[in-house]
Chain A
Amino acid sequence: METVNGEREYPFCEIDPEECKGCHLCVSSCPAEVLEVSDNLNSKGFHYAEYKGSGCIGCGFCFYMCPEPGAITVYLKDYEPGKAV
């Protein structure tokens, strides 16, 4: 999800809806309360987690709490788009 003008603001939390299994541990781990459970289902039938689009503080809690290796990516404040990481 991008912000209104199409630019991402960092920190930014990206969740792959297809890799998400809907445990929602990230939602409850987020101190900024910027993650939510989607009304939509992914192809496996899970209500995946979603970033509300702004307000991420880059703490990384969701990333470490998520049991799926690749479901969550958190771009931190100093992230430079396009740079290899």
Chain B
Amino acid sequence: MAKKTVLRKPKGFLDVYKHKPGAEKDRTHYCPGCGHGILHKLVAEALEDLDVVDRTVLMSPVGCSVFAYYYFDTGHFQVAHGRAPAVATAVSRANPDAITISYQGDGDLAAIGGNNILQAANRGENFVVFFVNNAIYGMTGGQMAPTTLEGQKTTTTPYGRNPLTDGYPIKMCEVISQLYAPVYVTRTSLHDNANVRKTRNAVRKAIQNVKEKKGFSFVEVLGMCPSGWKMSSTDAQRWIEEEMIPVFPLGVYKDVTDEDRSSIDRPTPVHEVDRVLEALDVTTEKAELLSKREVEPRYANPSIRASGFGGQGIMSMGQAIARVGMKYGYEVSWLPSYGPEMRGGTANCSVKVQENKIGACEATEPTVIIAMNRPSLERFEKILQPDGTIIYNSTLIEVEPTREDAEVYPVPITGLADDLGNTRVQSMVGVGAFAGVTDLFDPEEVIKLLPEMFGSKASLIELNEKAVRAGYEYVKENF
């Protein structure tokens, strides 16, 4: 690398922060004196100098650095709170040449994501963690973090952190360095020039490690949070020196980067499609497609929301529709959404069966809803498209839909299943009813799929066959 003749905004940053809303596209959202900004600059500079900007993927956490993706000119994932290491694992395994960075705060990493980081470290994943320890939850207004010092006042420890009730500050470098797999674990600080310099070196070394596929590097950086600490920026620097460093001693906790550690040599991921298909027992032979039927325009390309109690077979209902759509050569998607309980809670799924490629799988504005219970009807009729279609389970829903523009099909779905001797086949009654309403597919084609869906138990198959036909026939006879 040629010697620098100017120190300017590193190319690891976007020139203009085009993803940032509002007018201020040339400056960050960070508070004056924030440690995140300093670390961002060191990371962006290292990415430029090591010539890896184009193959870097950065995880933006939840916390003040949630918007890291406004600034870095890299690939990004904005991840759920504490889950950066899990997503970074996926990214680095799927693309071993990526420079994967998990950027996290102390609430994110040591509280909600405590187990995530430990497991990723323990697996020795090939990515780098930049961990900003500012002893507080910055973004949410200064609550206690796992790293908050004993006696430190925060909004949730107004009398100061008391270890007897709140535990002791968690020292992540000390914990992580006890594991076998991590190769580089260090704690640095941003409170003065010399330590910024050391942080810069640590950042570069850690990124170099990832570049050389050496495994897991962990760089903890003590950073100022003048807003959370309610101090001036320079007082915040002093506070790090006087209060934080005695609790979080600086230094290299582990460095085995130069050891030959073949035990953490990860097998390269298998992207061979044939092997995956073989493992899943899926055939690549193209099935003969059925010819598509004439469909009334209002039922063409349906976007469907099926919903009901957990246990009503909502997922199978959606799957059956998607699978049969596939047989006709449609593009299909099926997206389940489970309630917290397996039974008794609510469950819904989005299904799309379309002529063109599907972008978003969620049916946010469905053209058809299939409601198996009252809460589902009430919830989803609100998002039904104008002049959409409602198929609802009149056995359990004693109210009528309120949508006057909709075409409405009350079908006693649970009752028809009950008549067959088993309410559990109600989902296939629903599929039959859907076929009856839309004529999108021949119900007999669903019946042919049943063994694939429910295994080969003959009695079950037979019952489900009857269920599909019952739903279909009910609609044809009554509407």
* Complex interface: chain B residues within 8 A of A59 (CB): 193
Distance of A62 from chain B, by nearest CB (Å) = 9
Distance of A60 from chain B, by nearest CB (Å) = 5
Q: Once the chains bind, are A85 and B6 in contact (CB under 8 Å)?
A: yes
- A sample of 16 inter-chain contacts (CB < 8 A) reads A21-B33, A22-B32, A23-B233, A29-B192, A46-B32, A61-B196, A63-B7, A64-B193, A66-B38, A67-B32, A67-B36, A67-B41, A69-B44, A76-B5, A76-B7, A78-B5
Q: Once the chains bind, are A73 and B9 in contact (CB under 8 Å)?
A: yes
In the complex the two chains form, what is the Cα distance from A7 to B209 in whole Å? Answer: 44
* Complex interface: chain A residues within 8 A of B190 (CB): 65
Distance of A38 from chain B, by nearest CB (Å) = 14
Chain B CB within 8 A of A28 CB: yes
Question: Contact partner of B42 among A46, A64, A70, A85, CB < 8 A?
Answer: A64
In the complex the two chains form, what is the Cα distance from A29 to B237 in whole Å? Answer: 11
* Complex interface: chain B residues within 8 A of A64 (CB): 7, 38, 41-42, 193, 196-197, 200
Nearest B-chain residue to A16, judged by Cβ: B26
* Complex interface: chain A residues within 8 A of B8 (CB): 70, 73-74, 85
- Chain B positions near chain A (C-beta within 8 angstroms): 3-10, 13, 26-28, 30-38, 40-42, 44, 71, 190, 192-193, 196-197, 200, 226, 233-234, 237
Q: Once the chains bind, are B233 and A24 in contact (CB under 8 Å)?
A: yes
**In the complex, the 7 A-B pairs of residues with the closest C-beta atoms, listed nearest first:** A67-B37, A23-B33, A23-B32, A70-B9, A21-B32, A23-B233, A63-B7
Q: Once the chains bind, are B5 and A80 in contact (CB under 8 Å)?
A: yes
Nearest A-chain residue to B31, judged by Cβ: A21
* Complex interface: chain A residues within 8 A of B234 (CB): 24-25, 28
Distance of A41 from chain B, by nearest CB (Å) = 14
Question: Contact partner of B5 among A23, A66, A68, A85, CB < 8 A?
Answer: A85
Distance of A20 from chain B, by nearest CB (Å) = 9
- Chain A positions near chain B (C-beta within 8 angstroms): 18-19, 21-25, 28-29, 31, 46, 59-61, 63-76, 78-80, 83, 85
* Complex interface: chain A residues within 8 A of B192 (CB): 29
Nearest A-chain residue to B192, judged by Cβ: A29
In the complex the two chains form, what is the Cα distance from A65 to B32 in whole Å? Answer: 12
Distance of B77 from chain A, by nearest CB (Å) = 21
Distance of A39 from chain B, by nearest CB (Å) = 18
* Complex interface: chain A residues within 8 A of B226 (CB): 23
> When A61-B193, A68-B37, A69-B44 are in contact, do A74 and B7 touch as well, CB less than 8 Å?
yes
Nearest A-chain residue to B15, judged by Cβ: A70
In the complex the two chains form, what is the Cα distance from A68 to B5 in whole Å? Answer: 20
Q: Once the chains bind, are B38 and A70 in contact (CB under 8 Å)?
A: no
* Complex interface: chain B residues within 8 A of A63 (CB): 7
In the complex the two chains form, what is the Cα distance from A40 to B139 in whole Å? Answer: 30
Given A24-B33, A29-B193, A70-B9, 14 more contacts at CB 8 Å?
A: A21-B31, A21-B32, A64-B196, A64-B200, A66-B41, A68-B27, A68-B37, A69-B40, A73-B9, A75-B6, A76-B5, A78-B3, A79-B6, A85-B5
* Complex interface: chain B residues within 8 A of A22 (CB): 32
Q: Once the chains bind, are A73 and B6 in contact (CB under 8 Å)?
A: yes
* Complex interface: chain A residues within 8 A of B9 (CB): 69-70, 73
Distance of B236 from chain A, by nearest CB (Å) = 9
In the complex the two chains form, what is the Cα distance from A28 to B234 in whole Å? Answer: 8
